[in-house]
Chains A and B, each alone.
Chain A
Amino acid sequence: MPQTMFDKIWSAHEVSDGLLYIDLHLVHEVTSPQAFDGLRLAERPLRRPDRTLATADHNVPTDGTKAARLIADQLSRVQVETLERNCEEFGIPIYSLGSDRQGIVHVIGPELGVTQPGMTIVCGDSHTSTHGAFGALAFGIGTSEVEHVLATQCLVQKRPQTMRILYSGELAPGVTPKDLILATIGRLGTGGMVGHAVEYAGPAIESLSMPGRMTVCNMTIEGGGRAGMIAPDETTFEWVRGKAAAPEDFDAAVERWRKLPTDDGAEFDRELEIDAAGISPMVTWGTNPGMVVEVTDSVPDPAAMDSPADRESAERALAYMDLRPGTPMTEVKPERVFIGSCTNSRVEDLREAASIVDGRRVADSVRAMVVPGSQQVKAEAEAEGLHDVFRSAGFEWREAGCSMCLGMNPDTLIEGERCASTSNRNFEGRQGKGGRTHLVSPRMAAAAAVEGHFVDIRDWR
């Protein structure tokens, strides 16, 4: 019987009915301390330290602090030091503050090559869906499940339903993978993919680079999806080739990986087609990623919405965002710009943003910052001179971490500030209490930094 890629990976990892083997467990400081405590309390050993990898990302300052013990915020310091101690006690490799491999957990996995096609990958972080870009089954878990994987290298899982979104046509110039996924979530809603492992397919997906594919899979969770996946192909193999953890017998691995894509005639529980050529640059206007419009549109009018629940949510969102219905999105003026996060902080994202700001200046009304996703991304970008481009345009060039995506570290918005952000969530207070977030692509964020308001990148200058 023809199988989907999801079916193949799932059945290859079923130890018994509903018990799934996990090939790689990524760990960070926020969702793990209670799991390690649980192990100690029950006197359970860690089953596979060699299938586990840790880094510090959520709490770390991006100001050049070189070691955990130097973190000024006491609670953050304790959390990162606790991770370091736990990793030492249980023998887990860790790239903490000060390591040249430190970075956002979903950036360093792919860049080290530990993320490979056909694997099952989990992490106590919802954006674990990012790794699905390699044709892996990757999803976020809570702390109890983190403890479960540490102890057993397995997870008790309910098999999700399958869904395929086929993108016909090609993205127009200036339209990015970020716009593709924002447009998709706008159409389906923040709960539209709940319960499903989603495969993204079609010509518009096949022509994406690996960073582009990671951006798409990363935001699967913003549509409520359990996992996002893209079939591995030459683009995938070329990314993994030569990485630190690439398989020794690479050709044999590629032979295995070629069998992963969904078979012709395989059935999905749900299928959907989206015309990629019709997608425009997108900007969120509200307080969840599904509240999104084309940049050429205006702030929507709640009164025109059919469902009372939608209307009420929209009204509350507009009050929080301090926006009036009918205002053109191009008249919305962010005073902060954040380029970074596990969604858009890879070298390719930084190159795109740099190409927009090269030779230009950040508007006087704007404070803009770039936060590379990892120390390796930072080094690569600096070798290309991107840091000079950003700095001479008036951007801050910072150290690797989650930074202002979630404001668990000193990088936050102050109350009332409006931010054009390349991150993944525009929830109330996400980037700082009272902060107002508009999610956009790196190009759109960079152009907004220069102009002081959103612009349609397709016909800008």
Chain B
Amino acid sequence: MRPIDVIEGKVSVLDRADVDTDQIIPKQFLKRVERTGFGEFLFYDWLRSGEIELEPNPILVAGRNFGCGSSREHAPWALEDFGFEAIVAPSFADIFYANCTKVGLLPVELDEAHCRAVAEAGEARIDVDDQTVTCAAGVFEFEIEPDIQHRLLNGLDDIGITLESAARIDEFEAAQGAAAGPATTGL
């Protein structure tokens, strides 16, 4: 994952609430076993029917509960591959939010009024370190978990960090005893 510090540029707007991952990337495109190339299938049905229009700008402003539904990481893969670097919305579905932070697609939670202001401004600058979104309407602060912020700023590999705790995981497993889950290999 590449480090993210500042994301700056034009804003695309998808003014809909509860946009689900089935819309972001329909299931027929989940059959691929690769991780790249999903951008051309983003919002496949909505874009092809002309129901919505979207420019591949760095920032997407969306409605509340964005990314609800399935756990498919293909959704952030598609958004990122399409060209988005940050999604600004009043709220996100949990799994989608987590997936974005693993992929290096920045999810930014702002209240509805501020989301609207960013959408209307048409351009914005998001600073991950300062936790601010700056646009013509003002400077808005956003919350992000410190460890997620640290990982994004430094482009760190989550797994690599956890593996540094391998000794502690060994100890945990040794102490689990009878409470350890069933072995799947013995069935």
Of the candidates B16, B35, B70, B179, the one whose C-beta lies within 8 Å of that of A118 is B179
Q: A106-142 toward B: CB 8 Å interface, digit per residue (1/0)?
A: 0000001110101100001110100000000001111
Of the candidates A59, A126, A128, A313, the one whose C-beta lies within 8 Å of that of B17 is A313
- A156–B35 Cα gap in the complex (Å)? 22
The answer to whether B23 touches A427 (Cβ under 8 A) is: yes
Residue of B nearest to A192 (CB): B65
Chain A residue contacts of B27, Cβ below 8 A = 406-408, 430
- Once A37-B35, A51-B183 are accepted as A-B contacts, the answer to whether A142 and B102 lie under 8 Å apart by CB is yes
Chain A residue contacts of B68, Cβ below 8 A = 190-191, 224, 288
The answer to whether A194 touches B184 (Cβ under 8 A) is: no
The answer to whether B165 touches A15 (Cβ under 8 A) is: yes
Binds A, one of B93-101, B120-128, B129-137: B93-101
- A52–B48 Cα gap in the complex (Å)? 40
The answer to whether A30 touches B30 (Cβ under 8 A) is: yes
The answer to whether A19 touches B98 (Cβ under 8 A) is: no
Chain A residue contacts of B92, Cβ below 8 A = 194
Interface band, chain B: 35 or more
The answer to whether A143 touches B73 (Cβ under 8 A) is: yes
Q: B136-172 toward A: CB 8 Å interface, digit per residue (1/0)?
A: 0000000001010000000000110111011011001
Q: Report B60-81 residues with CB < 8 Å from chain A CB.
A: 63-65, 68-74, 76
- Once A126-B70, A313-B16 are accepted as A-B contacts, the answer to whether A144 and B158 lie under 8 Å apart by CB is yes
Interface band, chain A: 35 or more
The answer to whether A247 touches B182 (Cβ under 8 A) is: yes
The answer to whether B71 touches A309 (Cβ under 8 A) is: no
- A49–B172 Cα gap in the complex (Å)? 17
The answer to whether A429 touches B45 (Cβ under 8 A) is: yes
- Once A31-B72, A154-B169, A408-B28 are accepted as A-B contacts, the answer to whether A256 and B35 lie under 8 Å apart by CB is no
- Once A78-B33, A427-B20, A433-B45 are accepted as A-B contacts, the answer to whether A15 and B168 lie under 8 Å apart by CB is yes
Chain B residue contacts of A224, Cβ below 8 A = 65, 68, 93-94
Q: List the count of A-B residue pairs having beta carbons below 8 Å apart.
A: 208
B180: Cβ under 8 A from any A Cβ:
yes
- Once A15-B165, A51-B183 are accepted as A-B contacts, the answer to whether A144 and B103 lie under 8 Å apart by CB is yes
Chain B residue contacts of A156, Cβ below 8 A = 147, 158, 161-162
- A246–B45 Cα gap in the complex (Å)? 46
A145: Cβ under 8 A from any B Cβ:
yes
Chain B residue contacts of A16, Cβ below 8 A = 165, 168
Central interface residue in B32, B69, B147, by most chain A CB within 10 Å: B69
B22: Cβ under 8 A from any A Cβ:
yes
Q: A1-17 toward B: CB 8 Å interface, digit per residue (1/0)?
A: 00000000000100110
Q: A405-429 toward B: CB 8 Å interface, digit per residue (1/0)?
A: 0111000000000000000010111
Chain A residue contacts of B187, Cβ below 8 A = 93, 112, 114, 244-245
Q: A433-452 toward B: CB 8 Å interface, digit per residue (1/0)?
A: 10000000000000000000
Chain A residue contacts of B72, Cβ below 8 A = 30-31, 142
A40: Cβ under 8 A from any B Cβ:
no
A→B interface (CB under 8 Å): 12, 15-16, 18-19, 21, 23-24, 30-31, 33-34, 37, 42, 44, 47, 49-53, 58-59, 73, 75-76, 78-79, 82, 91-93, 112-114, 116, 118-119, 124-126, 128, 139-145, 147-148, 151-154, 156, 158, 160, 190-191, 194-195, 221, 224, 226, 244-247, 249, 252-253, 256, 288, 290, 309-310, 312-313, 316, 406-408, 425, 427-430, 433
Closest 4 CB pairs of A and B: A23-B181, A144-B102, A191-B65, A142-B73
